[in-house]
Amino acid sequence: MKTLIEFKKVTKQYKIGEVPIKALDGVDFSISEGEFVVILGASGAGKSTILNILGGMDTATSGQVFVGDQEITTFNEKKLTEYRGEKVGFVFQFYNLIPNLTTLENVEFAAEVCKNHLDARDILYQVGLRDRIKNFPSQLSGGEQQRVAIARAVAKNPSLLLCDEPTGALDYVTGKSVLKLLQDVNRETKKCVVLVTHNSAIAPMADKVIKVKSGMIESVAINDVKQRVEGIEW
Ligand SMILES: Nc1ncnc2c1ncn2[C@@H]1O[C@H](COP(=O)(O)OP(=O)(O)OP(=O)(O)O)[C@@H](O)[C@H]1O
């Protein structure tokens, strides 16, 4: 498989007052097109920092990040905004839906600014929300709201789907169904999915598992046979 993402010696330093904090300390890894990747690590390990740099929401202090044939670490603000808008779909722990727009409008609103967007209604049907498209977010359960958030990300037709603790606010069964949906999206669309979590039990659902510890890569493992979410218990 062709390489889609490459991190080379990436560092990120934050400063709180005069105190420097090394969030990333020389991170190297690569991800191939179509891969489902789980980034694992304890709280504070640097997982979200990696995802935010990859998604163009934050910038590296040093090092290089390549996505496709572009080096995003050379991008200025304007190019980063374009990159975020066109190439990246985000799913967060909290769904960040717009409260006064319906489900359908939430997805359309995000998708329509993208050149190659997909039909919002089709995607909502695919994520199992056919009967909910006229509802407002407050009328939906947490799991349903997360499905809308996933539909919103997928409808942009991005190269990459980035998910930061997408099941963090959900109960076990609902969380599992959201993970299944992400696995299905990856299989059906062949889009690369990168999922950040502290839950090591879900590692078998990935093609590749990247473990992060204290801002460094602890290990990168490939699952020769990836498991369906339905078959994993935790
Ligand atoms: N904006 C910021 N300013 C200062 N320090 C930050 C900032 N964002 C993150 N950090 C620090 O960088 C380190 C890595 O944070 P990061 O959020 O990437 O960890 P994480 O692995 O995603 O943790 P969690 O699972 O708790 O979300 C932590 O020590 C954190 O306190």
What are 147-157's pLDDT values in tens digits? 999 999 999 99
> Taking 90 as the threshold, does the pLDDT of residue 208 lie above it?
yes
Q: Class of 3-231 per CATH?
A: alpha beta
Task: Please give the Cα distance from 124 to 114 (Å, whole number).
Answer: 17
Task: Give the ligand 1 atom nearest the CA of 50.
Answer: 18
Taking CA atoms only, the protein residue closest to ligand 1 atom 12 is: 23
Residues 6 or more apart whose Cβ sits within 8 Å of residue 233: 201
Q: What are the pLDDT digits (tens) for 107-117?
A: 999 999 888 89
Atom 26 of ligand 1, residue of closest alpha carbon: 43
Those residues whose C-beta lies under 8 Å from the C-beta of residue 190, and which sit 6 or more positions away, are 33, 34
Q: How far is residue 25's CA from residue 12's CA, in Å, rounded to a whole number?
A: 7
Collect all residues with Cβ–Cβ distance below 8 Å to 9 and sequence separation of at least 6: 26, 27, 28, 62, 63, 64
Euclidean distance between CA atoms 178 and 104, whole angstroms:
19
Q: Residues in the chain, how many?
A: 234
For ligand 1, pick from 7, 11, 22, 49 the residue to mutate: most ligand atoms within 8 Å of CB.
Answer: 49
Tens digit of pLDDT for each residue in 9-58? 999 999 989 899 999 999 999 999 999 999 999 999 999 999 999 999 99
